[in-house]
Structure 1
Amino acid sequence: MRYPEGGGLTAERRAFREGIRLQAGERFAAGEKTAVIAKDLRVSVRSVERWHRAWREGGMEGLRSAGPANSPTVTDAQFAVLEEELGKGPSAHGFEDQRWVSLSVATVWRLLKRHGWSWQAPARRALERDEHAVELWKKEVWPRVKGSRRSTEHGSSSRTRPASR
Structure 2
Amino acid sequence: MEAAERFRRGDENTVIARDLRVSVWSVQRWRRAWSQDGPRALASKGPASLPLLSDELFAVLERELDKGPVAHGWPEQTWTLSRIRTLIGRRFHKRCTVQGVAALLKRHGWSCQVPARRAIERDENLVAGWMKETWPQVEGPWRRSTSGSSSRTKPDSR
Q: TM-score, normalised to structure 2's length?
A: 0.40
Which fold has the larger relative contact order, with Cα–Cα distance below 8 Å and residues 6 or more apart in sequence?
1
Bigger radius of gyration: 2
